[in-house]
Chains A and B, each alone.
Chain A
Amino acid sequence: MSKLLKPRNLALILGIVALLLIAILFVRVPLPTILLPAEHVPGLKIGNFPITNTFIATILADIVVLVLGFLAVRRMQEVPESRLQNIFEWIIEVFDGMLTDIGGKEKARSWLAVFMTILLFLLFANWLELVPGVDSIGYIEPVEVAYAKSGVTVGYEKKQIGPFLTLTNKQVKLTDEEMARIKEEYKEAKEKGEEYHPHEAKGYVLVPYVRAAATDLNLTIGLALLVVLWSHIIGFRRLGGKYIRRFALPHITGMKPIDLLVGVLEFISEFAKVISLSFRLFGNIFAGQVLLFVMAFLVAFLLPVPFMGLELFVGFMQAFVFAILTFIYFEQATHSHAGDEHH
């Protein structure tokens, strides 16, 4: 207790309380619009193909991974002087050992690259949500347009602060008549082939330029599908016909109905793999993002900090789990059933 009452600590505590008070009384942040589909970034297109803000995050994560990777191996030394090379070697050594424990040396070596790519890519993609500016810097759009596109009904008033345009925390809700009117106008504009512009904007929403990549189901489902399909290809290439027999063909007990049932269950479990793999990653990161939004909305300073720490951990855990499950699926696919091995 006496330690707590030292002038320095006392000043620190008072400062924190003051900061919290200022945050609660004066600095209020609007709650960002929580949307499931990734928003298109206006004005950014490749050919006719719009770019979503989650795809930008994907590219950013790619760049980070590649830059760090290339810097780490730029000048490889027997006795490493660069700390980056050291860290990189350590990471690879640790996970190589872990994979060797699970699947043996040969399998660990052949799929280490897949494992590490998934791990590093998802790690930086997930941690991107903690970078300031992600989810908070973006394009300000009339709430009417947002409603027409994705059914957002709550906007905020905007305010010019110096060169920056920002949203205040004053909420604006669309009424039922307005919603009906917007729907009509949107339909009309669409029939004319024009882009929809409201006559006057009642409120605004923020469309962030960058949004954590794993909050887009396209990434998680795409990756999960790829991984599960890949495991089948590997299984087929290594085991051949034996691998196909695992599904639906009678071979295990010789009793056809039971084997058929087992085969069907194996088949279904492949879809369950895709769903659980993709939605686990998506759910955790999406929920983490919403958690950070809500905490910042409640108290703008300090309160989000412990949750950021939590998200740091969750981001790593989810990347690791996705990668290790990928490896385990690969391993299972190439692991013939116990009954087959003794023949």
Chain B
Amino acid sequence: MAALGLNGAFLLAQIVNFFILFFLLKKFVFPPVIQMLDERKKRIAEGLAAADVARREAEEERKKLMAQLEAERAEAQKRVAAASAQAEKVREEILAQARREAEEIKAKAIQEAEAEKQRILAEAHKQIAELALLAAERVVREGLDETTQHKIIEDFLSQVSLN
């Protein structure tokens, strides 16, 4: 073994040396680095989570605003629709009233015309009857026979009633 350079004391010295190095590094060098890495990892994760939350909140806010806007627009539309419906109704009413009044006026006119006609007819009847009586008087005066008289009156009357 000596020919290979193996020597218990040197071997032990190397092992001890390694242990010293190991403990120095483990005690003073690695913990701060690992701690720093973990901390940074945590902080990055936290930062990302916070950003995520903020983004979600902003999204929600936006949605809420959008919904509100939408609601307002719908409301306005409804109001416009109601107003236009109201206007339509009023127009209809006005139209209907106008039509009704026109109808009434028309009906009244017709009635008046009818009454006038009736009155004129009655007047005519009366005058005709008077005329007929006058005629009859004249005929009687001039001496017509009875049959001729009758015939004349009949004709006359039928003509009048035909009218």
Q: Interface code A75-119, partner B: CB below 8 Å = 1, 0 otherwise?
A: 010100000010011001100100000000000010011101100
State whether the Cβ of A267 lies closer than 8 Å to any Cβ in chain B: no
Given the complex, which residues of A lie within 8 Å of B33, measured CB to CB? 72-73, 76, 85, 88-89, 92
User: Contacts A55-B10, A55-B14; is A76 near B32 (CB within 8 Å)?
Assistant: yes
User: Contacts A37-B2, A66-B25; is A92 near B30 (CB within 8 Å)?
Assistant: yes
Q: Quick one: which of B1-60 are within 8 Å of A by CB?
A: 2-7, 9-15, 17-18, 20-22, 24-26, 28-30, 32-34, 36-37, 39-40, 43
Cβ A38 vs Cβ B25 within 8 A: no
Among B17, B24, B40, B43, the most chain A Cβ lie within 10 Å of the Cβ of B17
Cβ B18 vs Cβ A121 within 8 A: yes
Cβ B10 vs Cβ A38 within 8 A: yes
Main secondary structure of the interface of B (DSSP, over half): helix
Given the complex, which residues of A lie within 8 Å of B43, measured CB to CB? 78
Given the complex, which residues of B lie within 8 Å of A52, measured CB to CB? 10
The stretch of A13-21, A57-65, A138-146, A157-165 that contacts the partner chain: A57-65
Given the complex, which residues of B lie within 8 Å of A70, measured CB to CB? 28-29
Given the complex, which residues of A lie within 8 Å of B5, measured CB to CB? 36-38, 216-218
Among B3, B9, B22, B39, the most chain A Cβ lie within 10 Å of the Cβ of B22
Instruction: State in angstroms the CA–CA spacing of A29 and B33 once bound together.
Output: 45
Cβ B21 vs Cβ A121 within 8 A: yes
Shortest beta-carbon distance from B52 to chain A in Å: 21
Cβ A66 vs Cβ B24 within 8 A: yes
Given the complex, which residues of B lie within 8 Å of A62, measured CB to CB? 17, 20-21
Cβ A117 vs Cβ B25 within 8 A: yes
Q: Interface code A17-49, partner B: CB below 8 Å = 1, 0 otherwise?
A: 000000000000000000011100000000001
Q: Interface code A281-322, partner B: CB below 8 Å = 1, 0 otherwise?
A: 000000000000000000000000000000000000000000
Shortest beta-carbon distance from A41 to chain B in Å: 13
State whether the Cβ of A154 lies closer than 8 Å to any Cβ in chain B: no
Given the complex, which residues of A lie within 8 Å of B3, measured CB to CB? 36-37
Cβ A222 vs Cβ B22 within 8 A: no
Cβ A112 vs Cβ B34 within 8 A: yes
State whether the Cβ of A249 lies closer than 8 Å to any Cβ in chain B: no
Instruction: State in angstroms the CA–CA spacing of A191 and B108 once bound together.
Output: 166
Cβ A222 vs Cβ B18 within 8 A: yes
Interface bracket on B = 20 to 34
State whether the Cβ of A212 lies closer than 8 Å to any Cβ in chain B: no
Cβ B28 vs Cβ A221 within 8 A: no
Instruction: State in angstroms the CA–CA spacing of A235 and B18 once bound together.
Output: 21
Instruction: State in angstroms the CA–CA spacing of A226 and B40 once bound together.
Output: 35
Cβ A117 vs Cβ B21 within 8 A: yes
Main secondary structure of the interface of A (DSSP, over half): helix
Instruction: State in angstroms the CA–CA spacing of A226 and B22 once bound together.
Output: 12
User: Which chain A residue lies CB-closest to B43?
Assistant: A78
Given the complex, which residues of A lie within 8 Å of B39, measured CB to CB? 78
User: Which chain B residue lies CB-closest to A69?
Assistant: B29
User: Which chain A residue lies CB-closest to B9?
Assistant: A49
Shortest beta-carbon distance from B29 to chain A in Å: 4
Shortest beta-carbon distance from B35 to chain A in Å: 8
Cβ B25 vs Cβ A218 within 8 A: no
Instruction: State in angstroms the CA–CA spacing of A76 and B21 once bound together.
Output: 21
Given the complex, which residues of A lie within 8 Å of B36, measured CB to CB? 76, 78, 89
Shortest beta-carbon distance from B150 to chain A in Å: 142
State whether the Cβ of A260 lies closer than 8 Å to any Cβ in chain B: no
Cβ B32 vs Cβ A73 within 8 A: yes
User: Contacts A73-B32, A92-B37; is A216 near B10 (CB within 8 Å)?
Assistant: yes
Given the complex, which residues of B lie within 8 Å of A49, measured CB to CB? 9
Q: Interface code A198-221, partner B: CB below 8 Å = 1, 0 otherwise?
A: 000000000000000000111101
Instruction: State in angstroms the CA–CA spacing of A109 and B35 once bound together.
Output: 11
Cβ A219 vs Cβ B14 within 8 A: yes
Instruction: State in angstroms the CA–CA spacing of A113 and B15 once bound together.
Output: 16
User: Which chain A residue lies CB-closest to B8?
Assistant: A218
Among B12, B13, B37, the most chain A Cβ lie within 10 Å of the Cβ of B13
Cβ A223 vs Cβ B15 within 8 A: yes
Shortest beta-carbon distance from A117 to chain B in Å: 5
Cβ A218 vs Cβ B6 within 8 A: yes
User: Contacts A38-B10, A218-B6; is A117 near B28 (CB within 8 Å)?
Assistant: no
Given the complex, which residues of A lie within 8 Å of B24, measured CB to CB? 66
Interface residues of A (CB under 8 A from B): 36-38, 49, 52, 55, 58-59, 62, 65-66, 69-70, 72-73, 76, 78, 85, 88-89, 92-93, 96, 109, 112-114, 116-117, 120-121, 216-219, 221-223, 225-226
5 A-B residue pairings within 8 Å (CB atoms): A52-B10, A78-B40, A85-B33, A117-B26, A217-B5
